Structures are given as C-alpha cells and as structure tokens.
Chains A and B, each alone.
Chain A
C-alpha cells in the first residue's frame, strides 16, 4: 500500500484520473442514451467507438500526417478527424440500428434477443476489422490492415506539454483539450435533450412510448436520433483517444466499452449527467487504486467500488431517472 505516493501527489493523480474518466464519460453517453429510450444495453457501442478510431487513423494516414506537425496543420487534422470520426461512428451506430435492431423491434422480440444481437453485432464488427478487412484490403491499405488483429500506431498529432501548473499539479495541453471538449459536448447534449423540440421528443419516448406516439412523436425518428447522437459522442471520444493515446486495434473497444458501460451504471444508466459523473468517478477510482496498490489491481478496485455503490444506491449515483435530465 503506497499511501505516500497517493497523498504526496494527490492533486496530480486527480487530474490524471479526471482526464481518463472524461473519455469514459463520452462513450458512456451512448449506452445511457439508448438505454434511456429503449431499455436496451447496446453492447455494440464499444465497436462504434472502435470504428471511429479507425476512421481517424485512416484520415491521418491518407494525408500522410507525421509526428508533431506544425500547429496549424495539427488543428486542421484534429477538426477533420472529429468530423470524419463523428460521421463514421454515427453512421455505424445508425447502420447497427437499421440492420440489427429495427427488424427485431418490428417483430416485438423479447429484450433478451436484443441483448444477444448486440453482443453478436459487437463480435461481427471486431472480426470485420480484425480479420475480414485485413484479408480483403491488406495489400491496398497496409498501414491499417497489414496483418490480422494487429495493434496500430497513429502519428502524435500534438506534443504533450504542461500548460498549467498550480501548486505542483501539472495539467498538460492534451488533458486540457480532453476536459474542455468533454464538458462542452456534455453541455451541448444536455441542452439538446432538455431544451429543444427534438430533445423533448426523446424525453417523451423515454418516459412513455405509447403516450408519446399518441401525441404525434415519431418513435422511429427518435430512436434513429439517439443512435446517431450516441455515435457522434463515441466519434468525438475516438478522436480524443487518438490524440491522447495514438493507438487502436480491432479489439480496442472491448475494455473501454466495458469501462464506459460501468461508468454509465455507476452514474445511473439512462441519466445523461450520471454518465459524466460515473465516468469521472470511475477514472478517479482507477487511478487512485492503481497508485495505492499496483496497476494490475486497477479493475479490481474499480469493480469493487461499483459493487459497493450499487449496494447502497442500486440505481447509481444520480439515480436512473433524474426528472428532466433523464434522456
């Protein structure tokens, strides 16, 4: 037990944990939005994120981005990356909805069937990117698909530099960008769901699908909308991930998806603000746990905390339905 390290650099670990959790939170939104409306845990969402990272990698490779490009270029490629990742992830999420879930909904399939389908879609996507594309495109795009299931590196788009230093706590430029973008996206989404006409439709369907339909809300449109929104958030997370860690592979979504789902449950699944709180909380717990023991205990600590929290608050930190904030 390394209390010296934990408390000696407590501020620094907090910053690290929050920036780690911020990305969980963005992905968690996708789980929470879909759950809020459909009561469905969309396990394929982790692959929506994975597709986003491949889109970013593809874009940067296509333009031959090198390590540490000039700042103007870096910003350009980050913005382009955001657009491409959002389109790829949003498109994937929408495609999953149309191809996998909609036919089931038409036939009133029981919830368990949706769950199995979600897991199946997730596996299919992992293997499409891990096996099928390398075999079909290995020769054409060697930088992405040269070998099956390989780990892929991306260029460093921004060099990590300390920009803020308060009382020995260093915050670097990348962490700052991650915080600011995650908070901005959360605020935008929160505003969208709570303040716009479309958002009202989403909330109406979430609260009572039949009544919403009677009131003239088009349920199918709302469902498409939440899948696309979740996908866009996952795309943004994919860009932030690529900027911060610069790696991807077909199975990259597995662990992250699990963590993001945990974050969503921790905060109260179906609750947008809960996803943010859950993500940040999970990131903090992981970093504190890894510091206190060693990194191999990270997941153990995180899940013990999850179990303890759910014992006392079975609906998560903020509860499953937080009135207006609920999706």
Chain B
C-alpha cells in the first residue's frame, strides 16, 4: 500500500516538473483585443530542433517588427502567433490546416525552409492567405503558379550562380559537390552544378541524420578536390566537415545559407574554421535604419541569418494593417502590390512572388571561431 502511494507521489512530482518546464516555453503575442485596426498573423518554421539556429533570428526579427508597431500604436494591436514545425514538412501540414481553417488569421510568415513551404503552399493558397517567406529559397517554389506565395529573399538559382562565380574567382580547379537530398540542399547544389561545367570533379549524396561519412570522404580524396561544396543544413554538415578535416582533407569548404547557423561551427568543434558560407542575407551593420541596433538591444545579440528578412516580412503585414486592411483578400492584394524600402533590401515582388531579382544581394561570410565574418558581396553572375 505504502509502495503504490509513494509511486503515485513520484509520478505526480514528475508530472509537475514536466508541466513546469513546458510552462517555461516563451509565449509571444498576447490575446489582447484588436479593435478596429490590427489582427492576427501566423509565423511557422523550425523554432526548435537541429536547424533552429538558422531560423530563430528571423522569428526574432518578425517579433521585433510587431513589437515596435504595437508599442507605438496602442489602438492597432497585431498578434503574432508562433507555430514550431522543427523544419519538418509533415509537422507543417497540420499547422497549415489549422491556420487556414481559423478565420482570425489574416496572413502568414513562412515557411522558413523550402520543403515545409512546398508542402503547405497549396493549403494557404486555397484559403486565400498570403504567405511571405523570409528564407525559403528553392528556385521552383515560385514557378508553380502559386498565387499567394511571396519571398523577401533571393532564390537558389541566384545563389547557386553566385557560389559558382565565387569559386571560379578563387581559381578553383576541382569542385566536389555533396547534398543531403532535401528540397533545399539538392536544389541549390543542382543550380551550382549547372554553372560549374568542367570544374565539377565529383559529387555524392548523403541522407538526413547521417553522421558517418567515410565513403563520401574517400570519394573527395579520390577526386583530389580543392573545393568542397555542401548543400544542406547544420546537422549533417557539422560532422561531415569535421570528419573531412580529421581525414586530412585540406580543400576549402563552401556552404550556402543553410549553414549560416552558429550551431554549425560549434558542432564542428573547430573543423569549420575558415569555411565560406554564402547567404542572400545582409551583414547586420549593412541593414537599413536602426534595425541592427534595435535587435541587439532587444535580444542581446547581433541578428544572425535572416533577422532582417524576418523583420521585413512582418513589416509588410504591419503596413497592411496600418493601411486598414481587414480581410485575407485585401491583405493578399496589398502584399502583391507592396513597393517599399525594407531593412534587408528594397521589397517589391515580381509576378511569380520572387523579390525583384535586381534587388537581391548575396554575401559571403567566413567562419572564424564561432563567428561569421562578412567577407564580400558576391557578384550575381
């Protein structure tokens, strides 16, 4: 009898700890009434999980834009509700159904990754919800005829071209390409491959969650590559680059914006030193207005990848609400016609939802320690 009593007590204590811990999760956006002006928007992406480091700055940037607006306009409150997908298309889909079915949501920021965006685009389109992505870069997202998808970031074709221009300018002779088979990684790697021509010395595909890379490393060695490009995210790139270095491969490691994530150099424990990361995202100090300073003040750190893009995406909705838009259709039309200087770039969308290609900027960063130091703006072709 005593035994079962103590066990029940133990179970209750465990449950209490779990609930308390779950309660620690920060909840943003309160449900204050939103009178005549204002409304509710959703933001979804990988806010936890392996690749969250890449996405959190964007979430913070968006929160900052909303908070600045709400603080200045007590009579026009906007609610931003977060939905964590862990970057997984399978988790993003039920969220999309929930948001689309809830008439109080008037707009969506996201997705942050290409696969989750691809999976949810039709749902939001059918619901007439505008979708503004700060960081989904796969090229074909905007070539599917979707009427409600927009992105404030350059696509992978542009970035792939810029990477190719970069490695050529570094006198690369043999480039080895690896990708993770994801919508994003395989896409950008294919774009690069198209541009490399005879410089391409070999390629391999790995799989998500892989952590041992002997065969890939043997292939890089056999190819005698002087540049290794990896299209994908941190979880696989960190162990890959580290094992490459341990095996004595000296080739320069180049990765796209998927690796613009502080967890990448940290996870690689020094193996990522000197790696080049390209990103269609601005260095913090190049962003317009007081964004970088405001962000630093609010979060105690510099905006990482896509902080400025997240801010811009949210700002579009802020402007829509300020303009008195109150329905999904009005907001969609407003986004489509948006034409204004943002903090990351001039924001104006082409017919297919891509941001005006002439306004896209791509930067290269070099990893020093665990920091991403801006190197130079890359030429687009």
Listed stretches B65-73, B233-241, B250-258; interface member? B233-241
A245 to B48, CA, bound (A): 24
Complex interface: stretch among B110-118, B135-143, B200-208 = B200-208
Q: Given A9-B222, A155-B269, A294-B204, is A20 in contact with B238 using a C-beta cutoff of 8 Å?
A: no
Whether A149 contacts B218 in the complex (CB less than 8 A), given A67-B269, A135-B21, A247-B242, comes out as no
Q: With an 8 A cutoff between CB atoms, is A154 at the interface?
A: yes
Residues on the B chain within 8 Å of A245, using CB: 211-212, 239, 242-243
Stretch of B33-41, B49-57, B124-132, B313-321 that contacts chain A: B49-57
A12 to chain B, nearest CB (A): 7
Q: Residue A218 at the B interface, CB < 8 A?
A: no
Q: Does B216 contact A (CB under 8 A)?
A: yes
Say whether, besides A5-B218, A132-B18, A287-B215, A249 and B50 are in contact (CB < 8 Å).
Answer: yes
Contact B248–A153 (Cβ < 8 Å): no
Say yes or no: A160-B263 contact (C-beta < 8 A), given A67-B270, A295-B215.
Answer: no
Choice from B25, B214, B270 contacting A156 with Cβ under 8 Å = B270
Complexed CA–CA distance, A310 and B83 (Å)? 44
Whether B222 and A5, one on each chain, are in contact in the complex, defined by CB atoms closer than 8 angstroms, is: yes
Number of A positions contacting B (CB below 8 A): 42
B207 pairs with A9, CB closer than 8 A: no
Q: Is the CB of A148 within 8 A of B215?
A: no
In the assembled complex, how far is the CB of residue B267 from the closest CB belonging to chain A, in whole angstroms? 4
Whole-angstrom distance between the Cβ of A129 and the nearest chain B Cβ? 13
Q: Is B340 an interface residue (CB 8 A)?
A: no
Q: Is the CB of B18 within 8 A of A148?
A: no
B contact residues around A295 at 8 Å (CB): 204-207, 210, 213, 215-216
Number of CB contacts from chain A to chain B under 8 A: 122
Residues 1 to 29 of chain A near chain B (Cβ within 8 Å): 5, 8-9, 12-13, 16-17, 20
Q: How far is the CB of A49 from chain B (nearest CB, A)?
A: 13
CB within 8 Å of A: which of B43-84? Answer: 48-50, 52-53
| A32 at interface, CB cutoff 8 A | no
Given the complex of chains A and B, what is the CA–CA distance between A296 and B205 in angstroms? 5
Least CB separation from A292: chain B residue: B215
**Which residues of the partner chain B approach A155 to less than 8 Å between Cβ atoms?**
269
- What's the nearest-Cβ distance from chain B to residue A257, in Å? 12
Asked if A290 lies at the interface with its beta carbon under 8 angstroms from chain B, I say: yes
Bound CA–CA A281/B247 (angstroms):
23
Is residue B99 contacting chain A, with contact meaning CB distance below 8 A? no
Specify which chain A residues have a CB less than 8 angstroms from the CB of B48 in the assembled complex.
131, 147-149
Instruction: Decide yes or no whether A185 CB sits under 8 A from chain B.
Output: no
Closest residue of chain B to A138, judged by CB? B24
* A-chain residues with CB within 8 Å of residue B25 when the two chains form the complex: 135
Is B209 part of the contact surface with A, judged by Cβ < 8 Å? yes
B268 in the interface, Cβ–Cβ < 8 Å? yes
In the complex where A153-B269, A247-B242, A254-B209 touch, is A131 in contact with B21 (Cβ < 8 A)? yes
Q: Which of B17, B86, B270 has most chain A Cβ within 10 Å? A: B270
Task: Please give, as numbers and ranges, the residues of chain B lying within 8 Å of A298 by CB-CB distance.
Answer: 207, 210, 215
B226: chain A residues at CB < 8 Å are none
| Residue A150, interface by CB 8 Å | yes
Q: Is A255's CB within 8 Å of the partner chain B? A: yes
Residues on B with beta carbons closer than 8 Å to the beta carbon of A171: none
Residues on B with C-beta less than 8 A from A190 are none
Tell me whether B286 is interfacial, beta carbon within 8 Å.
Answer: no
Knowing A9-B222, A16-B214, A245-B211, the reply to whether A153 touches B242 (Cβ < 8 A) is yes
B246 at the interface (CB under 8 A from A): yes
Question: Does B368 belong to the interface (CB within 8 Å)?
Answer: no
Question: Which of B18, B235, B239, B246 has most A Cβ within 10 Å?
Answer: B246
6 A-B pairs within 8 Å (CB atoms) are namely: A132-B21, A151-B238, A153-B271, A294-B205, A295-B215, A298-B207
